[in-house]
Structure 1
Amino acid sequence: MTWVGDPRLAADAEAAWYLEAAFTPGARLGTVYDDPSTPVVVTGVAEVATLRVPSGRIVVDAPWDDDDARMYECGLPTRPPRELAVGIPPGTYPVEVAWTAGPYAFLGRRFDGVECAATRLRVSDEPVAGWEAGLGVADDIARLQPGERPRVAAGANVVCFADAGAWTTLSAPFRTYVDGSPVPRDTERLSHEGERVSDEARRADLVTFAAESGGVVWLGRTGTGDVSVIVVTSGMAGAKA
């Protein structure tokens, strides 16, 4: 039986092109802002961490909320995380970042223009047959307007993948405040300037990465409908060469 997705969630041709091109070294994703002669090129895809997901439930959200300090000071609970409505098999999965370069000049200086184009959680090596926006457990597909996509928040342009079952422990370092100020975090610093928090009691992880606020979470589905990959785009998402 071949998977058929809901057309209200399906990626359009431009988004599908970007999701494939972003993880293809050498692909052109567009041109540098204000310089149509200089392309933005995918320079490589690197595994930056592994993520343990014993619950099979995934959070894709900011690791903290702008209102956290106020809520903590008032003794109130913070908002629940944005957990995806779809689950994956419990296991350990690679987190991979697609890097681009688009050299540019600013105030007489040259910059290499290296940026993160997209980050993915690779669930399997099965080919993607189709892309769809990833609904959260609290999202109501019936309320989506034509062309609208459920979006994820990003505190200071930071998003994370995390095991939903261990969210309270995993997110605690990002959500601890004293007198309205965040407490310095004791987290593992990663090569892509992200951070990892581990809950060894549950053998679960949280990994942060750069992404713009309001980004769309995309699910790559196999021909049978299984989730092969979860992608969060950033930077030039949606641009086309």
Structure 2
Amino acid sequence: MQWVGDSRLAAGPEATWYLEAAFTPGAHLGTVYDDPTTPIVVTGIEELATIRVPSGRLVVDAPWHDDDCQKYEKGLPTRPPRELAVRIPPGVYRVEIAWSAGPYEFFGEHCDGVECAATRLCVSDDPVVAWEMGLGVDEDVDRLQAGDRPQFYSDANVGCFADAGAWTTLAAPFRKVVDGVPAPRDTEQLADECERVSDESQRADLVTFGAVSGGVVWLGRTKAGDVAMIVVTTGMAGAKA
């Protein structure tokens, strides 16, 4: 029997189109702001890293918030991360970024306009037949108002995928501050704004990616209802549900 989701979480036509186009090299995602003649084009898909999620519980959130750093520095409890309500099989998964480009000029200077169109965690290679917004463990679909888009927020325009069971250890490097400024951290550099932290005692990872102001989390469901893809969109990519 084919899976039937909750219509209140289902992606609308605009969001569905974007989620499919963002990971299609050559696809046009729109045009450059104030220049309708220059398209924004998906230039390629990059495998950023692999991530270990031994607990099957996934955090999709900012790796830190400013108030968390202040509390951490004072030894006070910090807020729990935004853990997804959905569970995935414990395992190792690819994290991929879809890059887009829309060249423009700024005060006479040419800019390539390269940006992250979307980031995804690939749970399986099974075909996605429908998309829905991913709720956090503390979020209730019955409390959603028309047009609401549950999402995470980020003070520093950075998001992450992380194993929820090892969150305290994995997030610790991002919460250390010196004189109110984030301290240098010993992480694996993957790309611009992208890092990986590993907890070998639990064989778990955290991988960061760019997320302007935060992002909406989308679940790509198979015909049977299994989650095959978890995608984060930000900015204009947070298309209407």
TM-score (norm 1): 0.96
Partners of 2:36 and 2:29 in 1: CA distance = 12
Gaps of 5+ in 2: none
- How many Å apart are 1:191 and its aligned residue? 2.5
Number of the residue aligned with 1:175: 175
- How many Å apart are 1:146 and its aligned residue? 1.2
* Paired residues of 2:57 and 2:163 also in contact (CA < 8 A): yes
- How many Å apart are 1:72 and its aligned residue? 2.6
Measured against aligned partners, the alpha-carbon deviations of 1:190-219 in whole angstroms (never above 9, x if no partner) come to 034300000011111000000122421000
Partners of 2:140 and 2:213 in 1: CA distance = 20
Where do 1:84-95 residues align within 5 Å?
84-95=84-95
Measured against aligned partners, the alpha-carbon deviations of 1:154-196 in whole angstroms (never above 9, x if no partner) come to 2311000000010001000001234544321110000343000
- How many Å apart are 1:109 and its aligned residue? 1.1
1:121 to 2:121 alignment: yes
Residue identity in the other structure for 1:68: D
Partners of 1:229 and 1:63 in 2: CA distance = 21
Paired-residue identity, %: 74
- How many residue pairs are counted as aligned between the two chains? 240
Q: What is the root-mean-square deviation of aligned Cα atoms in Å? A: 1.5
Other structure's SS at 1:165 match: helix
- How many Å apart are 1:66 and its aligned residue? 1.6
1:61 to 2:61 alignment: yes
Stretch deviating more after TM superposition (15-24 or 67-76): 67-76
Partners of 1:157 and 1:176 in 2: CA distance = 18
Partners of 2:158 and 2:96 in 1: CA distance = 15
Partners of 2:181 and 2:43 in 1: CA distance = 38
Q: Residues 112 and 178 of structure 1: is their aligned pair in 2 closer, same or farther, counting only changes over 3 Å?
A: closer
Q: Which has the higher strand share?
A: 2
Number of the residue aligned with 2:222: 222
TM-score (norm 2): 0.96
Stretch deviating more after TM superposition (207-216 or 45-54): 207-216
Partners of 1:235 and 1:103 in 2: CA distance = 18
Partners of 2:98 and 2:156 in 1: CA distance = 20
Gaps of 5+ in 1: none
Residue identity in the other structure for 2:55: S
Partners of 1:53 and 1:166 in 2: CA distance = 9
Partners of 1:33 and 1:11 in 2: CA distance = 25
Where do 1:71-220 residues align within 5 Å?
71-220=71-220
Measured against aligned partners, the alpha-carbon deviations of 1:87-139 in whole angstroms (never above 9, x if no partner) come to 10011000000000100011111111111000000000001110000000011
- How many Å apart are 1:234 and its aligned residue? 2.4
Residue identity in the other structure for 1:89: P
* Paired residues of 1:21 and 1:27 also in contact (CA < 8 A): yes
Other structure's SS at 2:72 match: helix
